Amino acid sequence: MNKESQLTLRLLICGYLVYLACSICKRQMSGDSAVPALAAYAAAAVMGLSGAGIGAYHLIQYRKSKKSADQDRMIEDDEAP
Residue 40: per-residue pLDDT = 93
Residue 20's domain comprises 3-79
Q: How many domains does the chain have?
A: 1
CA 64, chain centre distance (Å)? 16
The 8-class DSSP code of residue 32 comes to -
Model-wide pTM > 0.85: no
Q: Enumerate residue ranges in the chain where pLDDT < 50.
A: none
Residue 80: per-residue pLDDT = 59
Residue 72: per-residue pLDDT = 77
Residue 73: per-residue pLDDT = 78
52-67 pLDDT, tens digit each: 999 999 999 999 999 9
Residue 55: per-residue pLDDT = 95
CA distance 25 to 43: 9
